[in-house]
Amino acid sequence: MNTPPPVARAFAPDLARGFMLLLIAMANVSWFLYGRDFGMAGAHPLDGTALDRALQAFMMIAVDGRAYPLFAFLFGYGMVQFTRSRIARGIEYREVRRMLRRRHWAMLLAFGLPHAALLFMGDIVGAYGLVGLVLVGIFFDRTDRTLTICVWVLAGLMALFAVFSLVGGIAAAVFMPTGALESADVSRDLT
């Protein structure tokens, strides 16, 4: 059997993944500031100097939740590149699917579950393992028609979620009594 020459590994996705991991770590570091009162907008402390507040504002605007979409894109890109490289080596497609499933089960059970149970409840590795299992099951080795239907269903669900979020936000603004958030903070301080 004549195997194709190995293709050089692209450095840019690995660099982007490392940068995204750094941003995710920065976004989650405030969860580990003990002995402080936190506001309603995440784990950012309520007290601090002007510099602390400026850095918190920057983190909320530029970092919190911003790294996850690119990291998710890189996760999907990695799945596709993994599949392409294995097929280019002559590995049968069914075996590649099995390899991907084993890889995602390992992410979920061997890494994600212990990490979430022992170190950090906000583990993302287990979630990516679960998402990888679902994506391989739904999208890999499907017809164009099936993929088109899946995309329309997902787009419809996202639009529905956006509408519910908008309606829920408006309802909360209209029907929430004035000062409810302040009284929640006061009751928490009293306990």
Taking the whole predicted model, whether its pTM rises above 0.85 is answered as: no
Q: Which percentage of the chain shows pLDDT scores above 70?
A: 82
Q: Give residue 64's domain range.
A: 11-143
Q: Which residues of the chain have pLDDT under 50?
A: 186-187, 189-190
Same domain membership, residue 54 and residue 20: yes
pLDDT in tens, 41-51: 566 777 778 88
Query: If we measure between CA atoms, which residue out of 28, 46, 27 comes closest to residue 36?
Result: 46
Residue 3: inside a domain: no
- The mean pLDDT of the chain is 81
Same domain membership, residue 115 and residue 88: yes
Count the domains in the chain: 2
Cα 27 from chain centroid (whole Å): 12
Same domain membership, residue 80 and residue 30: yes
Rounded CA-CA distance 178/33 in Å is: 30
Same domain membership, residue 155 and residue 122: no
